[in-house]
Structure 1
Amino acid sequence: MTPPAYCTNVHPAEDLPGVLAQLDRYAVPVREELGVDTLALGLWLADPVAHGLAKDETARRGLAAELRARGLEVSTLNAFPYGGFHQDVVKHSVYLPPWTDPRRLTYTADCAVVLADLLPDSASYGSISTLPLAWREPWTSIDDDRARGALDAFARFLRAEAARNGRPIRLAIEPEPGCVLDTVADAVEWMAGRVDHDHIGICLDTCHLAVSFADPAQDVAAIDRAGLSVVKVQASAALEVAEPGTEEGRRAIAAFAEPRYLHQVRENDPAGVLAADDLPDALARLPARHPWRVHFHVPLHEAPPPPLTSTTGVLLAATEALRNTVDNLPHFEVETYTWTVLPGSAHASEAGLAAGIAAELRWATEHLGEGVSA
């Protein structure tokens, strides 16, 4: 089977020449390492790139031709990061602009225009993942109404685009710890009856799902009962430490505290899940009496150093739940954007990163089973 897509937000490229250079530097070697004729990508286009392509049909056709020439295809875009995803410090800025800001609607619409011209003939639909409205603070009832209005406007835009292009583009809202839609349950409650279910669904990021200590089968069932759909799965794994209060556990998890990205932590206390917004904050104030899960996307095929483990079991359980619930699995995208900030990473070189991505995609193909869509 064709491997799931890999998300190119791991690569810093915020203009079109940079995007093409990164495809040559990494995507083509990954395809060659896997020995496949075609490699699926979950393409990330920063706002200036998406805007320029959306305004220039010739440029879109040119990008489609460049992809074909390299044996690459795109059925899904990751439109969560707006830009600046590889700055020295990203943290909370990844949630900007929120869905209350017209720039978010414009950017996502630009992405939809671009994706419509990149879809391979084999794709029945295109998908775009996006942030879960905003970081949770500040958020008011007025913000709630504005976000709903923006999503209604985007659904109307998608309906018009589908009529023009013949194949639908669907938006996938991605619950994430700490955001307005923190968990899948939050997303289901907010979206059910409020959004156009034909064009807007959920992006099930299995790292985020694991961090929330949710039950994958129950969450998939809740999505289905609400009449919503999983438009896209981001196949990803979180870090887990069973005994964060021990010296060994604390030292191991502290090695993953780094300054670029936000690494939300949840502690599975029997009285209720405890939360910290970043790993240094968790180390300073969580009681550490029960297991922690950390929002740090770790490679699917590599076990972290003991006593840490990864939550690939949650990914496998979510995939099985989907297989038992829907007729056709959604798009799958492997989204490990943290390769370059892994402690002591052996994948810092271009060749090492390409080999690591290929190994991860090989693992995903072998373990997620037949029927996973790219």
Structure 2
Amino acid sequence: MLSYCTNVHPAEDLDGILAQLDTYAVPVRERLGQDRLGVGLWLAAGVASGLAADPAARRRLAAELSARGLAVQTLNAFPYGGFHADVVKHSVYLPTWTDPRRLRYTLDCVTVLADLLPGDAAYGSISTLPLAWREPWTSSHDVRAGIAFEEVTRVLRSALARHEQPIRLAIEPEPGCVLDTVSDAVAWLAGRVDPEYIGLCLDTCHLAVSFADPAKTVADIRAAGLSVVKVQASAALHVEHPGAPEAVAALRAFAEPRYLHQVRELLPTGEVLAADDLPAALETLPARGPWRVHFHVPLHATPAAPLESTTGVLTGALGALAAQGPLPHVEVETYTWTVLPESGRQELAAGIADELRWARMEVHA
């Protein structure tokens, strides 16, 4: 079941979440002509904690979702809270996986998802951050994060003993983090976690930014004995000649203050250069090779030249996964609608519906 991620909506309390589902998710479902629409819920830590402590509130949420024709098989537990603050930037990586609050939040999400899963869901998935931003991080942090994942695994095993459907945690590599690339995540996870319960969230915007080959990436994950638990269907910005004046002008329109927009440059030698945000890239990268920018752009909307979208990476990754067997959960994640340049914005319900329509046609999910 194809879903869209509700981290595009800012509400951080249950009544607000339901109101935003009425305002956006229900109209999206109606525009698509579907009896049931998948939503990948983002629950900020406060609301997740309240739901986990209150079985009646979970039953209410499940009933409210069903009444609206909405189904939840996946949660996005990457942002802890404040995801629509005026400035988010590096704070989205806090608390880290060495902080007990991250573990508590994740376990709360396990409790909530177990009571929301529809009966026909093969499993539930929860995506989470790739440990932390890369600095500071030491071998002692590795140990503490590993202990936290052991506790998550213990809880996931016990949840399966109480419910018929397994729930799996999906680690989402992101540029600039401890697990910057999928290769980093595979190297860290393999042999350290139980692959029955912990795998990867393949965000195809992040994958594109790293200039990784999608088919080889999927093959390498499987060869390591790991699995893709969830795909976040997303696209990055690509610019072939970033030093051209028209390219610089086009990129400056995407240099907004709320989110971090990591940039990678592929040199003719094959070396990949990095900048932690778009304004820094415009000042420091040599612009001798193409750039990829971590800015989630709507899947169906081709950026104006000279910018391009990396939807080919998305379709390539999903094609490689489909060749291995049934697709994992696929969640369209474009949280950047409100920070797009004015020329790229669209009424939100219409835009989400158009993205899901594109995804349904292009990736057959």
- CA distance in structure 2 between the aligned counterparts of 1:205 and 1:345, rounded to whole angstroms: 25
Match of 2:296 in 1: 297
Q: Which of 342, 349, 354 does residue 354 from structure 1 map onto? A: 349
Unaligned runs of 5+ in 1: none
Match of 1:51 in 2: 49
User: Partner amino acid for 2:153?
Assistant: A
Could you tell me whether the CA contact under 8 Å between 1:183 and 1:212 is conserved in 2?
yes
- CA distance in structure 2 between the aligned counterparts of 1:23 and 1:298, rounded to whole angstroms: 22
- CA distance in structure 2 between the aligned counterparts of 1:269 and 1:46, rounded to whole angstroms: 39
- CA distance in structure 2 between the aligned counterparts of 1:345 and 1:89, rounded to whole angstroms: 22
Once the two structures are TM-superposed, the CA of residue 254 in structure 1 deviates from its matched residue by 1.1
- CA distance in structure 1 between the aligned counterparts of 2:16 and 2:344, rounded to whole angstroms: 24
Once the two structures are TM-superposed, the CA of residue 209 in structure 1 deviates from its matched residue by 0.2
Match of 2:98 in 1: 100
Residue deviations 1:135-187 (CA, integer Å, cap 9, x gap): 00000111010001101111011000110112110000000000000000000
User: Matched residue of 2:225: which SS?
Assistant: coil
User: Matched residue of 1:207: which SS?
Assistant: helix
Match of 2:230 in 1: 232
Once the two structures are TM-superposed, the CA of residue 346 in structure 1 deviates from its matched residue by 5.8
Give the root-mean-square deviation of aligned CA atoms.
0.8
User: Matched residue of 2:187: which SS?
Assistant: helix
- CA distance in structure 2 between the aligned counterparts of 1:196 and 1:164, rounded to whole angstroms: 19
- CA distance in structure 1 between the aligned counterparts of 2:231 and 2:222, rounded to whole angstroms: 15
Match of 1:36 in 2: 34
Q: Which of 7, 15, 18 does residue 9 from structure 1 map onto? A: 7
Once the two structures are TM-superposed, the CA of residue 237 in structure 1 deviates from its matched residue by 0.2
- CA distance in structure 1 between the aligned counterparts of 2:203 and 2:132, rounded to whole angstroms: 16
Unaligned runs of 5+ in 2: none
- CA distance in structure 1 between the aligned counterparts of 2:322 and 2:109, rounded to whole angstroms: 29
Q: Which of 185, 194, 197 does residue 196 from structure 1 map onto? A: 194
Trace 1:97-176 onto structure 2 (pairs within 5 A): 97-176=95-174
Once the two structures are TM-superposed, the CA of residue 305 in structure 1 deviates from its matched residue by 1.2
TM-score (norm 2): 0.99
Could you tell me whether the CA contact under 8 Å between 1:75 and 1:120 is conserved in 2?
yes
Once the two structures are TM-superposed, the CA of residue 347 in structure 1 deviates from its matched residue by 3.9
Asked whether 1:250 is paired with 2:245, we answer: no
- CA distance in structure 2 between the aligned counterparts of 1:51 and 1:269, rounded to whole angstroms: 46
Identity of aligned pairs, percent? 71
Q: Which of 169, 176, 179 does residue 178 from structure 1 map onto? A: 176
Once the two structures are TM-superposed, the CA of residue 304 in structure 1 deviates from its matched residue by 0.7
Asked whether 1:322 is paired with 2:317, we answer: no
- CA distance in structure 2 between the aligned counterparts of 1:354 and 1:314, rounded to whole angstroms: 25
Once the two structures are TM-superposed, the CA of residue 270 in structure 1 deviates from its matched residue by 2.8
User: Partner amino acid for 1:305?
Assistant: A
Once the two structures are TM-superposed, the CA of residue 124 in structure 1 deviates from its matched residue by 1.0
- CA distance in structure 2 between the aligned counterparts of 1:237 and 1:31, rounded to whole angstroms: 22
User: Matched residue of 1:260: which SS?
Assistant: coil
User: Matched residue of 1:275: which SS?
Assistant: strand
Once the two structures are TM-superposed, the CA of residue 345 in structure 1 deviates from its matched residue by 4.7
- CA distance in structure 1 between the aligned counterparts of 2:164 and 2:80, rounded to whole angstroms: 27
User: Partner amino acid for 1:306?
Assistant: A
Could you tell me whether the CA contact under 8 Å between 1:339 and 1:345 is conserved in 2?
no
User: Partner amino acid for 1:286?
Assistant: L
User: Partner amino acid for 1:287?
Assistant: P
Against the structure 1 CA distance between its residues 135 and 233, is the aligned structure 2 distance closer, same or farther, given a 3 Å change threshold?
same
Residue deviations 1:206-229 (CA, integer Å, cap 9, x gap): 000000000001110000001000
User: Partner amino acid for 1:273?
Assistant: V
User: Partner amino acid for 2:26?
Assistant: V
- CA distance in structure 1 between the aligned counterparts of 2:135 and 2:69, rounded to whole angstroms: 43
Once the two structures are TM-superposed, the CA of residue 289 in structure 1 deviates from its matched residue by 1.1
User: Matched residue of 1:66: which SS?
Assistant: helix
User: Matched residue of 2:126: which SS?
Assistant: strand
Asked whether 1:274 is paired with 2:266, we answer: no
Moved over 6 A (4+): none
- CA distance in structure 1 between the aligned counterparts of 2:186 and 2:121, rounded to whole angstroms: 27
User: Matched residue of 1:258: which SS?
Assistant: coil
Q: Which of 20, 23, 26 does residue 25 from structure 1 map onto? A: 23
Residue deviations 1:232-288 (CA, integer Å, cap 9, x gap): 000000000100001011111111000000000000013310000000000010001
Could you tell me whether the CA contact under 8 Å between 1:78 and 1:129 is conserved in 2?
yes
User: Matched residue of 1:138: which SS?
Assistant: coil
